[in-house]
Amino acid sequence: MTTKVQQAQADLVKAISDIATAMPLARTVQLYQFALFLKTHPLPTEETFEEVAADEALWDAQFAATDDDNLTALIAAVETEIGEGETLPMFDEHGDFIEHT
């Protein structure tokens, strides 16, 4: 007899399989790669949550202290680069990250 947790996991595996079967191959590959990523990155601990919360608070404070004129100028510069085609893509046609050297 299976436990409720085992049954829930089996149901989720079946649901994920059904979703993957209905996707184009490229998306199924992405799903697989994401599953591998999740497998190698354990769930955060309570201590990690505290570290993340402290880091987010620091970012919030830094963002709140940012001069709006400087931020507006940075956004304009980035939009100009994008418009002039001076940027490089981050991902290829399969959704894989491209490392530029």
Spatial separation of the C-alpha atoms in residues 94 and 34, rounded to whole Å: 13
Question: The tokens of 24 are what?
Answer: 């184009």
Question: The tokens of 98 are what?
Answer: 């491209």
Instruction: Provide the residue ranges of all domains of the chain, joining segments of one domain with +.
Output: 1-41, 43-93
pLDDT at 9: 94
pLDDT at 25: 95
pLDDT at 49: 83
Give average pLDDT by consecutive 10-residue segment, the chain, 101 residues. 86 96 95 93 81 92 90 94 91 90 80
pLDDT at 1: 54
Query: Please, what is the Cα angle at 78 between 72 and 80, to 5 degrees?
Result: 100
Q: Provide the residue type at 54 as one letter.
A: A
In this structure, the number of other CB atoms found within 10 A of the CB of residue 30 comes to: 15
- pTM of the full predicted structure? 0.44
